[in-house]
Structure 1
Amino acid sequence: MTEQQNAVTDLAESTSDASLERTRRRSEEIEDQIATDPGRFRVLTGDRPTGSLHVGHYFGSLRNRVRLQRAGVETFVLVADYQVITDRDGVGPIRERVLSLIADYLAVGIDAESAGTIFTHSAVPALNQLMLPFLSLVTDAELRRNPTVKAELEATGDRPMSALLLTYPVHQAADILFCKANLVPVGKDQLPHLEQSRVVARRFDERYGRAGDGSVPVFPRPDALLSEAASVLGTDGQKMSKSRGNTIDIGMDADTTAKLLKRAVTDNDRHITYDPVNRPEVSNLVLLAALASDRRPEDVAAEIGDGGGGTLKKVATEAVNEMFAPIRARRAELAADPGYLLQVLRTGNERANAIAESTLAEVREAMQMVY
Structure 2
Amino acid sequence: MDTTLRTARPESPASASLADTAGTSAAQARSAELEELVRDDPGRFRVLTGDRPTGQLHLGHYFGTLHNRVRLQNLGVEMFVLVADLQVLTDRDVADDLTGHVEGLVLDYLAIGVDPARSTIFAHSAVPALNQLLLPFLSLVSTAELGRNPTVKDEIAHSRQSAVNGLMFTYPVHQAADILFCKANLVPVGRDQLPHLELTRTIARRFNDRYGSGAAVFPQPDALLSSAPLLLGTDGTKMSKSRGNAIALGAGPDETARLIKGARTDSERHITYDPAARPEVSSLLLLAALCQNRTPEQVAADIGSGGAAALKKTVTEAVNEHLAPVRARRSEYARDRAHLRRILREGNERAAAVADATLAEVCTAMNSHY
Contact preservation (8 Å) 2:7, 2:144:
no
**1:71 paired residue number:** 75
**1:4 paired residue number:** 5
**1:259 paired residue number:** 258
1:87 aligns with 2:91: yes
Where do 1:1-371 residues align within 5 Å? 3-5=4-6, 16-113=20-117, 115-156=118-159, 159-210=162-213, 216-371=215-370
Contact preservation (8 Å) 2:127, 2:348:
yes
More displaced stretch, 47-56 vs 15-24: 15-24
Deviations 1:322-343 (A, max 9, x none): 1000000000111121101101
Alignment CA distance shift 1:294-1:240 (3 Å): same
Deviation at 1:13, TM superposition (A): 9.3
Alignment CA distance shift 1:186-1:363 (3 Å): same
The residue identity in structure 2 corresponding to 1:146 is N
More displaced stretch, 190-199 vs 16-25: 16-25
Distance in 2 (CA, whole Å) between partners of 1:245 and 1:367 is 45
Residue 224 of structure 2 aligns to a residue whose secondary structure is strand
The residue identity in structure 1 corresponding to 2:147 is R
The residue identity in structure 2 corresponding to 1:31 is E
**TM-score, scaled to structure 2:** 0.94
Deviations 1:287-343 (A, max 9, x none): 111011010001110111111111111111111111000000000111121101101
Contact preservation (8 Å) 1:56, 1:231:
yes
Unaligned runs of 5+ in 2: 11-15
Alignment CA distance shift 1:352-1:62 (3 Å): same
Deviation at 1:352, TM superposition (A): 0.3
Distance in 2 (CA, whole Å) between partners of 1:76 and 1:322 is 30
Residue 45 of structure 1 aligns to a residue whose secondary structure is strand
Distance in 2 (CA, whole Å) between partners of 1:218 and 1:33 is 23
The residue identity in structure 2 corresponding to 1:330 is R
Deviation at 1:8, TM superposition (A): 8.3
Deviations 1:31-68 (A, max 9, x none): 00011100010010111001111111101111111111
Superposition CA RMSD, Å: 1.9
Distance in 2 (CA, whole Å) between partners of 1:135 and 1:241 is 29
Residue 205 of structure 1 aligns to a residue whose secondary structure is helix
Deviation at 1:15, TM superposition (A): 6.0
Deviations 1:60-86 (A, max 9, x none): 111111111111111111110110011
Alignment CA distance shift 1:13-1:313 (3 Å): closer
The residue identity in structure 2 corresponding to 1:332 is S
Residue 4 of structure 1 aligns to a residue whose secondary structure is coil
| Residues matched between the structures, number | 364
Contact preservation (8 Å) 1:173, 1:200:
yes
Residue 266 of structure 1 aligns to a residue whose secondary structure is coil
Unaligned runs of 5+ in 1: none
Alignment CA distance shift 1:63-1:14 (3 Å): farther
Identity of aligned residues (%): 62
